[in-house]
Amino acid sequence: MQARGPLMIEHRLIERMLVIIQERLGEVEKTRKIDASFVDTAVDFVRSYADRTHHGKEEDIMFRVLNNKGLSEPDRRVMNELIAEHVFGRSTTRELVEANTRYRNGDSAALDDIVRSLRTLADFYPRHIEKEDKVFFPAVRAYFSEAEDQAMLAEFWEFDRKMIHEKYKSVVDILEGK
């Protein structure tokens, strides 16, 4: 397997979650209500899986390695766009959390902000994923020898192995007020 393989597999799970979000948005249009715990679950998925696990491998490993390569100007531009898109996803997710908190506290007007944030994420991620799968990953594969690609793949597996511990250490830290 090439290093980009796990990233593309992760994209398929993210796409499945986006379908669920779109379905829930359809229900909200009919009922003008949303289950705040579903929003919590969606936020947890986006933060823990799409951002920390998936984008973490991209930013902390792949992009770090690519920064030491002589990237062409077009490839560097796309990498910088992807980084900016990751920041956009984080910002939109923060807005979603804030809106969901307001909604839980009885602010019915926050529903429109929840819908807007969920719709933004559901519209944004497919384009982002397509850019990575069809443009960036194939282009940057040429910068790696087979040995470098396999070393990066091994680093991805090690990154994933540590994720569950990182996530739940963070949960306990938050509950302890750290």
Please tell me the predicted confidence (pLDDT) of residue 134. 97
Residue 56's domain comprises 4-175
The three-class DSSP label of residue 150 is: helix
**71 three-state secondary structure:** coil
Query: Per residue of the chain (178 residues), what is the pLDDT tens digit?
Result: 999 999 999 999 999 999 999 999 999 999 999 999 999 999 999 999 999 999 999 999 999 999 999 999 999 999 999 999 999 999 999 999 999 999 999 999 999 999 999 999 999 999 999 999 999 999 999 999 999 999 999 999 999 999 888 888 888 888 898 7
Burial class (CB in 10 A: 0-12, 13-18, 19+), 168: exposed
Return the CATH number at 22: 1.20.120.520
Predicted pLDDT at 178: 76
CA angle 25, 128, 87 (to 5 degrees): 90
Instruction: Give 55-58 contacts, CB < 8 A, sequence gap 24+.
Output: 55/86, 55/89, 56/159, 56/163, 57/6, 57/7, 57/156, 57/159, 57/160, 58/7, 58/82, 58/86, 58/132
Provide, for the chain, the percentages of residues in helix, strand and coil under a 3-state DSSP scheme, each rounded to the nearest 5.
Answer: 85, 0, 15
Number of helices (H), then strands (E), belonging to the chain: the values are 8, 0
What total number of domains does the chain contain?
1
pLDDT at position 80 is: 98
What's the confidence (pLDDT) of residue 171?
A: 80
pLDDT at residue number 175: 84
